[in-house]
């Protein structure tokens, strides 16, 4: 659903490497990133069913929540990260009630 390239639109390659390198090997750990993506998906799916063709907003929420999860695992969650999570939760609630679209449809 998202790739490292999507994450790199929001954070630097160095930060992604540092956040995923839980064993201090100095390398990007794709397994840690995939696990964080899966945790973000699980969080989102507690509100809605993820569509196959998500809206740009929903995809951005998935990116934000993945970065949040990576920062949480490293004890680096700031107040602004917590605020962004709350904003994203509000969007997800609106999506769950049908007030915001979750899927791009071709009409």
Give me the pLDDT at residue 106, please: 76
Q: What is the per-residue pLDDT for 1?
A: 85
Provide the H-helix boundaries in the chain: 4-8, 13-20, 30-45, 56-73, 79-96
Q: What is the pTM of this model?
A: 0.94
Residue 107's pLDDT is: 60
6-15 average pLDDT score: 96
CB 69 within 8 A of CB 39: yes
pLDDT above 90: residue 72: yes
């Amino acid at each position: 659903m998202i790739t490292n390239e999507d994450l790199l639109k929001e954070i630097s390659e160095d930060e992604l490497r540092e956040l995923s390198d839980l064993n201090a090997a100095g390398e990007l750990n794709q397994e840690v990133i995939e696990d964080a993506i899966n945790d973000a998906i699980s969080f989102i799916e507690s509100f809605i069913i993820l569509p196959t063709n998500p809206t740009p907003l929903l995809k951005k929420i998935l990116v934000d929540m993945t970065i949040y999860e990576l920062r949480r695992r490293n004890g680096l969650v700031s107040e602004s990260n917590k605020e962004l999570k709350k904003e994203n939760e509000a969007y997800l609630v609106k999506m769950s009630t049908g007030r915001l679209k979750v899927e791009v449809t071709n009409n």
